[in-house]
Amino acid sequence: MFVSETGPDIVIRGFVLAALALIWVTILIRVNGLRTLSKMTNFDFVMTVAMGSVVAGAVQADNWEIFAQAIVGMGGLVLVQFIAARLRSSSELIEQTIQNEPLLIMRDGKILRDALKQARMSESDVIAKLREANALELDQVRAVVLETTGDVSVLHGERFDEKLLQGIRNT
């Protein structure tokens, strides 16, 4: 692709294609915004994983056509995410179709067993997340939420605004 000898070509190609792919992703992120690689929704998460996969494919390309296809694919992913975000913000039906609801798995220090089953989580998973969030006492934990991205949010402290649980599914 770059030089006739295999060894130097592999090294040069690896560095050059990696640099070009990362420059292109950076340009796409600058044009589309930071949301491009966010994990705000499950759709965004899938987009981030897909983008990483396409970048890996671009770096491994053994000819310019394959590299160009990967570059176009990255642009296509960003365009689809942009369109999906616009549609989600303009239509409640599309929002409900694309987006999962977060799930309440603990409330006021009590683990919600049915929610754990639904989420396919164990009590030890919840306890680990509580430790991660520096929760010191179970009775100070106001809510634990399995977010749409698979992240677990722990809300703890003495006071709590119920507004934080809007749109969360409660089994």
Contacts of 59 (CB under 8 A, 6+ apart): 14, 17, 18, 21
Tens digit of pLDDT for each residue in 29-86? 889 887 777 767 777 888 888 999 999 999 999 889 999 999 999 999 999 989 988 8
d(Cα 54, Cα 60) in Å, to the nearest integer?
Answer: 10
pLDDT of residue 36: 78
> Cα 8 to the chain's mean position, in Å?
37
Return left, alpha or beta for 156; rule: phi > 0 is left, psi -120 to 50 is alpha, else beta. Answer: beta
Instruction: Report, as an integer, the average pLDDT of 112-119.
Output: 94
Query: Which pTM does this prediction carry?
Result: 0.67
Contacts of 60 (CB under 8 A, 6+ apart): 17
CATH number of 103-165: 3.30.240.20
Instruction: Report, as an integer, the average pLDDT of 77-101.
Output: 85
pLDDT of residue 112: 95
Answer yes or no: are the C-beta atoms of 137 and 146 closer than 8 Å.
no
- Phi and psi, residue 144, nearest 5°: -125, 130
Nearest to 111 by CA among 141, 131, 136, 133: 141
Residue 3 in this model has a pLDDT that exceeds 70: no
Per-domain boundaries in the chain: 6-97, 103-165
d(Cα 39, Cα 24) in Å, to the nearest integer?
Answer: 20
Which residue, chain included where needed, has tokens 């603990």? Answer: 106
